[in-house]
Amino acid sequence: MYEEITEKIKITVKPEFLDEHSDPDEKRFIWAYHIKIENFGDDTVKLVSRSWTISDSLGRVQEVQGSGVVGENPILKPGSSFEYTSGTPLNTPSGFMMGTYKMKKNNGSTFNAHIPAFSLDSPHEKGLQN
């Protein structure tokens, strides 16, 4: 599990390799990742957008940006949390992801909550993992 706190917003990530959806012979490796966002602050915040950097073991980088997460723009009151699961494919048996969520406070100010860098390692990787 990976965790990071930015401005009292805690983001926890748990990646999982999906062997049943992957095909190493076709260079298709699939991961799910479960995200929990917790608001330990005093302000209500809204998740406005996401920005991801996804890198494979050959150094190829993909940038993904978009509104909200899984079709939602969750609002987190103090003490509340939001959880979701998503996924990503790679053409290599390992890689990593990291990113940010743009959060908006009730007063209109925004900040980027950092998503911790997390490793995507499959059992098909030979040698050192990330």
The domain locations on the chain are 2-118
Fold of the 2-118 domain: Immunoglobulin-like (2.60.40)
User: How far apart are the C-alpha atoms of 15 and 88, rounded to whole Å?
Assistant: 10
Full-prediction pTM beyond 0.85? Answer: yes
Reported as a single tens digit per residue, the pLDDT across 14-47 is 999 999 999 999 999 999 999 999 999 999 999 9
Whether the CB-CB separation of 123 and 19 falls below 8 Å is answered with yes
Bridge partners of 39, per DSSP, are: 9
Whether the CB-CB separation of 42 and 78 falls below 8 Å is answered with yes
For β-strands 94-105 and 110-121, DSSP reports them as antiparallel
User: How far apart are the C-alpha atoms of 51 and 99, rounded to whole Å?
Assistant: 5
Least-confidence region, from 113-117, 121-125, 126-130? 126-130
